[in-house]
Amino acid sequence: MLEIRNLNVKLEEEDKQILKGVDLTVEAGNVHAIMGPNGSGKSTLSYVLSGRGGYEVTGGSATLEGADILEMDPEERAAAGLFLAFQYPVEIPGVGNMTFLRTALNAQRVARGEDEISAADFLKLIREKAKTLKIDADMLKRPVNVGFSGGEKKRNEILQMAVLEPKMCILDETDSGLDVDAMKLVSDGVNALRDEGRAFLVITHYQRLLDHIVPDVVHIMADGRIVKSGGPELALEVEKNGYTDILAEVA
Amino acid sequence: MGLPQAKIDATEARLAGVSLPEGAGWATKAREAALARVRQMGLPSGRDEYWKFTRPDDLLSPTAPEAALFATTGKPVFSDIDRIRLVFRDGVFDPDASDDPAEAGLEIARLADITGLDMHWASGFYGELEAAAHDPVPRPFAALNTAVATDGVAIRATGRAKRPVSLVYLHEKTNSDAVLHFLVRVEPGAEVTVLENGPAAARFNKVMEVDVADGGAFHHVRAQGRDHERRAVTHIFARLGEASTFKSFTLTANGVLTRNEAFITFTGDNATAHIAGAALGDGNFHHDDTVFVTHDAVACESRQVFKKVLRNGAVGTFQGKILVKSGAQKTDGYQISQALLLDEDAQFLAKPELEIYADDVACSHGSTSGAIDETALFYLRSRGLPKSQAQDLLVLAFLAEAIEEIEDEEIAADILTRLDGWLSRRRKG
């Protein structure tokens, strides 16, 4: 699904290398987690993959189902099936949540050469998806993320994911700012989307999210590289001992 | 204190060809007094404190600068609203094109038809609020309007008017110079909505005096016409009685020069005044909102919400003041003026002012200018929206706080459609 080869990235504005040769392959149907200390480049990786400005790729490649995504605009990547659940979802006053979602879904459909979804079909779709995430009609009507609590914002991200049905989902610290109940709700939403044809890359600081979204592979990222990969037990090791031992071991 | 000779000369040059209308009946005295006021304060120059951001030259020339007519397609704004249309062609009322003004709860009359009548409610009111609005800042174009206005209408709401009164301003001659004066009196507990749309003329000077009695409500929504070359200086003077409501929203898209002045005074307690504007400028566009709200009563709430979207050399200015007099305790005053600069050629000049003489008040003001938020833009694009569409959505989001000041949902939806149209015509694909 997602193939990253020797990806090197620096900040556009300053001479600071953030990613220093990331190699990662995520197969369809799998959940990969990336853990790592602050400043290791986890969020940068998610931004570079989804096309945020401010970064310069100095080497390497990233492909989604064989297509070079680094050359695409963010909206083209979205239409190709990439989705980033933001750590800090953005508030858009004056634009209704539901209107926004329908606009986004139709923009993707048009970009893929598909027909737009009818208003009735969309309503049916969103009601069904919102219900499982316990998102009520009021939240759908309100402006995008405006006045939402931390938990509501994250649930809204998962709702967008559920409606847009991407192939490759990147979750950037989706657990930050969530209480236990909200984390359960969000995780259930993600688990409901796990599918043969879909892959996840879950970026997190804490193992606890991975209790709910059980990964197939766990990677440890440090200083712009993936330094160690393993099964779910690797996350437990981090939780118990921190990163120090692992980093010392691979140094 | 005498005026500088240059100002006297400029004022006399402008007034040289001006004569007061004949047969103005009871308005004659008010017109003469207004002309005297113009001479006393002089017409503006760029040296005047409140004309530093906006050059008055085009408003001072003896004749109107030419303004090409603008062919619009599609239905004009408010077309689908059930309303009483009063049509003006280049500043002249056209009764044939207008609707029958008879409406329950309303008395509507052309000024020329009532100035000969004794005992009319409007006698004594013509020019009254304008005359009271020059301290501390003179508004000479308003006084000039009172003196020379060639047409206008008096609207009296005696009950809750069902349909809005819709003033439709058509621009049909490239050199028309329209001066219109409106009087609005909202009786106790009565309610009226006044709509205005259209460019009116090559050059337009408008005064609307609005007297809202206790418990009355005045709603005002206008769209100032898309003719690129039109010029306008408009004034709204409002006096608000106890527990009255005043709400005004203006959409301005295009126009080389627009100055919208508002002068609102609370004279009764527990009243509310909201005045909002959304201005969209691309290229040769100068838009000025000059607002003065005086709290002279207890526990009144005022809001000023002005948003401007500017690009390609467009200039926006805002001069807004909240004056809280010493007895006006429990005042709640709010003022925000913001500009979204879509490129580096656009300019926003703001002068927010608070002057407070009471000690138990809550007043806040803010003014910002900035570019499109890159993070928000990326967020929308990451969901699949093309860049131009994402940018337009953020423009609408930026304007939302001003649009929300329109109470009527149908009218608000119509205004939103206009905004969307303006944006989509400029979409780069």
Of B232, B259, B237, B233, the residue nearest B248 (C-alpha): B237
**Residue with the two structure tokens 């923009």:** A107
A·B CB contacts under 8 A: 79
Q: Which residue of B has its CA nearest to A73?
A: B381
Q: State which H helix or E strand residue B8 sits in.
A: helix B5-15
Segment A26-47 mean pLDDT? 92
Strand order in the sheet with A168-172: A82-85, A168-172, A199-203, A31-35, A217-222, A225-230
pLDDT at residue B32 in the model: 96
CB atoms A143 and B382 under 8 Å: no
How many angstroms separate the CA atoms of B214 and B189, rounded? Answer: 7
DSSP A58-115: EEEEEEETTEE-TTS-HHHHHHHTEEEE-SSPPPEEEEEHHHHHHHHHHHHHHHTTPP
Tell me what the pLDDT averaged over chain A comes to: 91
Query: What is the per-residue pLDDT across A132-143, written as a single tens digit (0 to 9) for each?
Result: 888 888 889 899
pTM for this one?
0.90
pLDDT at residue B338 in the model: 97
The DSSP 8-state label assigned to residue B98 in this structure reads S
Q: Considering only CB atoms, which residues of chain A are within 8 Å of chain B?
A: 50-53, 73-75, 77-79, 83-84, 86, 89-90, 92-95, 100, 103-105, 107-108, 111, 143, 160, 164
Whether pLDDT at A47 is above 90: yes
Q: Chain A contacts of B393, Cβ < 8 Å?
A: 92, 95, 100, 103
Q: Chain B contacts of A84, Cβ < 8 Å?
A: 382
Q: Which residue of A has its CA nearest to B394?
A: A92
How many angstroms separate the CA atoms of B276 and B141, rounded? Answer: 22
A108 to chain B, closest Cα gap in Å: 5
Segment B12-39 mean pLDDT? 92
Helix (H) and strand (E) counts for chain B? 9, 19
Share of chain A above pLDDT 70, in %: 100
Of B398, B279, B417, the residue nearest B346 (C-alpha): B279
Q: What is the ipTM of this complex?
A: 0.94
Segment B123-151 mean pLDDT? 96
Phi (first) and psi of residue B358, to 5 degrees: -110, 155
Query: What is the per-residue pLDDT across B221-244, written as a single tens digit (0 to 9) for each?
Result: 999 988 999 999 999 999 999 999
Segment B399-410 mean pLDDT? 95
Q: Chain B contacts of A53, Cβ < 8 Å?
A: 374, 378
Query: What is the per-residue pLDDT across A49-102, written as a single tens digit (0 to 9) for each?
Result: 999 999 999 999 999 999 999 999 999 999 999 999 999 999 998 888 998 999
Q: How confident is the model at residue A208 (pLDDT cuts 50, 70, 90)?
A: confident
Whether pLDDT at A250 is above 80: no
CB atoms A94 and B384 under 8 Å: no
How many angstroms separate the CA atoms of B219 and B272, rounded? Answer: 12
> Which of A78, A103, A143 comes nearest B382 by C-beta?
A78
pLDDT at residue B429 in the model: 45
Q: How confident is the model at residue B23 (pLDDT cuts 50, 70, 90)?
A: confident
The DSSP 8-state label assigned to residue A168 in this structure reads E
Q: Chain A contacts of B423, Cβ < 8 Å?
A: none
How many angstroms separate the CA atoms of B290 and B123, rounded? Answer: 28
Query: What is the per-residue pLDDT across B316-363, written as a single tens digit (0 to 9) for each?
Result: 999 999 999 999 999 999 999 999 999 999 999 999 999 999 999 999
Share of chain B above pLDDT 90, in %: 91
pLDDT at residue B317 in the model: 98
**CB of B371 within 8 Å of any CB in chain A?**
no
pLDDT at residue B428 in the model: 60
Q: How confident is the model at residue A206 (pLDDT cuts 50, 70, 90)?
A: confident
> Which of B378, B384, B401 comes nearest A104 by C-beta?
B384
Q: A57 near A8, Cβ under 8 Å?
A: yes
How many Cα neighbours within 13 Å face the side chain of B43?
22
Of B409, B265, B404, B277, the residue nearest B336 (C-alpha): B277
Give strand pairing partners of B319.
Answer: B290, B351
DSSP B355-379: EE--SS-EEEEEEEEE---HHHHHH
Query: What is the per-residue pLDDT across B266-305, written as a single tens digit (0 to 9) for each?
Result: 999 999 999 999 999 999 999 999 999 999 999 999 999 9
CB atoms A94 and B382 under 8 Å: no
Burial of B412 (0-12, 13-18, 19+ CB in 10 A): middle
Tell me what the pLDDT averaged over chain B comes to: 95
How many angstroms separate the CA atoms of A235 and A211, rounded? Answer: 10
